[in-house]
Amino acid sequence: MAVRRTAVASASAVALGLSLLATSCSPGTEPAAAASGLKPPAKKAVATGSGGAVSSVNPYASRAGLEVLRKGGNAVDAAVATASALGVVEPYSAGVGGGGYMVYYDAKAKKVRTIDGRETAPAAMRSDSFLDHGTGKPLDTDEAINSGLSVGVPGTPATWEKALKQWGTVSLAKALRPATRIADDGFVVNHEFRSQTAMNEKRFRDFKSTTDLFLPKGELPVVGTRFRNPDLARTYRQLARKGTGALYDGAIGRDVVRTVRQPPMAPGADHKARPGLMKARDLADYAAERRDPTRTAYRGLDVYSMGPSSAGGTTVGEALNILGNFHLSKSDRTQALHHYLEASRISFADRNRWVGDPAFSDVPTKPLLSKDFAKSRACLIRSDKALKSPLAPADPRHPDAACELKTGNKQPHEGPSTTHLVTADRWGNVVSYTLTIEQTGGSAITVPGRGFLLNNELTDFDFAPLTKGTPDPNLPGPGKRPRSSMSPTIVLRDGKPTIAVGSPGGATIITTVLQTLVNRLDLGMSLPEAVAAPRISQRNQAVTEAEPAFLRSPERKKLDSMGHRFVLAPKAFTPSPEIGAVAALEFLPHGRISAVAEPQRRGGGSAMVLKESP
């Protein structure tokens, strides 16, 4: 039954001082002198020890989760504390206004369980809602993103409440305390936060409430200053007192609906944002759903992930099943990467045709993950020559025809942001949780007086059918969840967790998780090495996106000779051309655990353990 809603300075010290003098104090930021007592938590990419672990993109958030573990909370409690803290310090990637997917290993029951907290479309949304009714053509992507029309009913608060009630040990009020304190006291602005604000500055200035919060006194936040969000602290306190009913049936929800239907445009804004379709009833009808996890066997391990409405579990799983037909070895890294790229290319072709919201489409999850289907698809791969994209999908219910080589359609749009965290506790429970507001900065619309941005998740729908005459499971519809690529993953060995992993990055989430697993399980890398290694992402496209370090590698030239074509990854959600931002953990012998975060991407993540040891 559904639960009701109850820095490193880049300029000289003199230059920084001048910047601070030029920026007056405001409710959002305070000069560095005022922040001197608010030293950022120490940040490490790898932490090894016992008693529990947390890994996320931000040290404030990881510390919030560790605080809950230290007080006796379990992995679910810590995950909610970490996620709510990310809503404060990573507000452009996640928060109250978004959604996500939680994968949980229950140590007592020895089972993997999941929650689908994906946003839903309003009841008034139709399959043609993202078409210009004058021309009949799809709306421009930027116009759709920066609008109330793109905002789905938030699922994150319902996910937190459902997880805590079913598997946690503390109340929502207690889980929110660390994040509320950070919102009240503030955090020290780093280069990543300032850079992401700068990337969004133009569209943020179109909305008065967003300008007021994230561009205090009309300026970009200064590195080294304190950024406070008292509005979000009040929102968290209201959720703590009244439960999530404050959003789904109460005052917070009324403010959300008003904002979606009448976006708070700034005077002189460059464009007029389209109003959204959300009503109070859409919030009241929302429920986070329990789903069966996806599962596949790979190299003697069991890989569990998120099923539809996410395509993460089926696509990673199908690619692993394809790779299971080949021997991958660190002795021939080029050949291993070639097979990784081809398996990803094929699985993406099938993903786009078959995966959508299971409440609206008959998604063939089990056939997509069958070994027979993977073996048939693997026959397309040549050891000496790359396939040409886009490939056509195959029907997993008829694997005998899956080896036919046909041309398909290009990859649809999917926003590139999001964030991920992993937690583990002393009892062996594990959480892998990916949450998002879609685009970096979401819809760019802040709910006035509430301190959080609204998502633009509905732009993950296909605006028009990908192929005329062929059913498209990812068209908009009333109450429907758009397809996602989020891939929170837990790997078991002999029934017990060995690895938990996930990443942000839109459609590159799938390839990031897949490549990290291949690096660790096939190429002999340690988990920190697997996370740090240069990434490449092939998503059934004519070219493969790559990070700069890979473009300089000897493997790149060898793969070029096989017909692969590489381009520099776009600066999509960070100031640098990066792919993904992994948070992961691995269980080691003798009861030890290693928490692993990015060493450099997104400015480096934060791994923490309860009792650190060498």
Q: Which residues contact 155 (CB under 8 A, 6 or more apart)?
A: 98, 99, 100, 116, 117, 118, 119, 120, 286, 288
Is 490 within 8 Å of 499 (Cβ atoms)? yes
Start-to-end CA distance of the chain, whole Å, equals 46
Q: Which helix (H) or strand (E) holds 282?
A: helix 280-284
Q: Which of 552, 550, 545 is nearest to 569 (CA)?
A: 545
Q: Is 418 a catalytic residue?
A: yes
Instruction: Specify whether the CB–CB gap between 186 and 228 falls below 8 A.
Output: yes
Q: How far are the Cα atoms of 190, 387, 443 from residue 212, in angstroms, in the given order?
A: 19, 50, 16
Q: How far is CA 535 from each of CA 247, 416, 510, 525, 548, rounded to the nearest angstrom?
A: 39, 15, 12, 14, 9
Question: Quick check: 95 and 190 in contact, CB under 8 A?
Answer: no
Q: How far apart are CA 508 and CA 414, in angstroms?
A: 9
Residue reference for tokens 């679910």: 76
For residue 410, count other CB atoms closer than 10 A to its CB: 13
Backbone angles phi, psi at 387, to 5 degrees: -70, 160
Q: Considering only CA atoms, which of 235, 256, 60 is closest in space to residue 153? A: 256
Active-site residue, from 23, 197, 211, 418: 418
CA-to-CA separations, 386 to 381, 544, 564, in angstroms, rounded: 8, 11, 6
Based on C-alpha coordinates, what's the Rg of the chain? 23
C-alpha of 175 from chain center: 21
Entry field: residues in the chain: 614
How far is Cα 195 from Cα 232, in angstroms, rounded to an integer?
22
| 438: three-class secondary structure by DSSP | coil
CA distance 532 to 213: 34
Three-state secondary structure call for residue 505: coil
Those residues with Cβ within 8 angstroms of residue 483's Cβ, 6 or more apart along the chain or in another chain: 308, 309, 310, 311, 355, 356, 357, 460, 461, 473, 474
Q: Which of 191, 352, 364 is nearest to 294 (CA)?
A: 364
Instruction: Report the catalytic residues.
Output: 418
